Structure 1
Amino acid sequence: MANSKYEYVKREFEFHRHLPASNWIVVRIDGCHFHRFSELHAFEKPNDDRALRLMNACATSMLEKFPDIVIAYGVSDEYSFVFQEKTELYQRDERLIISSCSSCFTSFYMMKWKEYFPSKELVQPPHFQVEVSCYPEPRIVCDYLSRRQSECHNRNQYTTCFWMLVKSGEGENKAKEILKDTLPKDKNELLFQRFQMNYNNEPAMFRKGSCAYRQKVEASEDERWDVAVAHVDMGPHFWAKHSYVFDRR
């Protein structure tokens, strides 16, 4: 071949990692320096409903674009997408999966920005970093998603307390000192005693995050699978009801 003498470049220097077969692939997209991005665009604290709904809309578009995504979970500026164990997307080439998911999610975010922030200009594009993990069993995938949801609760409870303190006049350093070493029950008590606020009455999207998955919709004689977004506990009851997400092919 005319280019055979140059093949060594690809053979010796281009690295391709193919993800192991028979594993569920989880692609986690996470905002990079997103606190700066949120400050630049004046997001509401501790939660901006518009920004979260924009992330959910991007996740919905991801499920529509990639049929092999069986379920996704998002909180704040991150989303985890679970690809079915037998996916052959890009022959399971990690580099191509990462670049494709990152570019698609970023494109959706920019295209949908005006839908959720009609009076606010997108000053600069968001930057998302991506990491990939592989899990051999649905049970472990469920535990992974449950862990992300647990972190959502802990993070949101803390930031809710933090910003309520700051908005009430406490400095940021003072607010951090007040919350240092507090337990969940302490934070609930603080919100109730100082601000007459019941944390459990906060929107479920803030406390539980967002789960995107396909559900069967029957319309007249047709049957289709549409993407749904829910804000629910991803415990045993949820998985008993939605176990089909791991069985669809």
Structure 2
Amino acid sequence: MKIRVKDLYMRFFYSTLVVLCLVAYLFFLYESRWKPLIAFKELLGNFAIGIVGSILSLIVIRSQLEKVFDSLNLKNSGIKGYKNGYPEILESLGGAETFFTLRMNKKIDVFGIAMSGFFEENSIVDLLYRRAKKGYQVRVFFADPESEELKNQEQTENKPGELQLNIKRLTRELSDKFSAEKGTRNKIKIYHLRSLPRAFILRSGNRMIVTNYLYEGPTQAPSIYLKDDDYLNAFEKYLDYIEASTAEDNSKEIAI
């Protein structure tokens, strides 16, 4: 008859438990001046206290372990930070100039509806131009200025015609800036999306800031900071969304 290693461990465990209980009983028997009933009651009382203490300890430990595992799962998902509005994340990372500075994987994506506030407050046209001169590949995605979805968005934001004008203006500014030099013309691609963007996305290499479009706008809406890790992560999901948006069925590329 073959005895499994697991069975040997269990036998050892139960034998050790019996020996410990016997030692404890002998101790209480000695303390009670060799009165068996009193010693047995003391053993049961201490045993009950030990069980209650162990249960409470396990509850506390489990709670702490759940927090640790939740934190690890969050990090493994690629989510590295959370703020209310993208400006807070951008500021915590050193601003747009620092965020869009890369040593490798020099790829920049700017993805959103009109993004006029972001472009103007951070001088993004000039910043992207400087990066393109250093060899960066740049892609900018706007909503289609002629789409019905954009008109509905303008009504929602109470900005009739404003988003359309901003998209056309920024598209023209980028085209004029990058077409001035042959070396930068092939470093940028501009797209007008056939469907309204679901999120405002700033991608710099293997880092990304994502803000879902809510009524309060991306400067106030919940924003997350992502990094491309080795695990299944949110960064890859949003990057897939950006890549899919370059398809002819999903966007129109603007000639530079």
Q: Same fold (TM over 0.5)?
A: no
**Which TM-score band applies after superposition, normalised by the shorter structure?**
under 0.3
Greater Rg over alpha carbons, structure: 2
Please report the TM-score for the alignment, with normalisation by the length of structure 2: 0.19
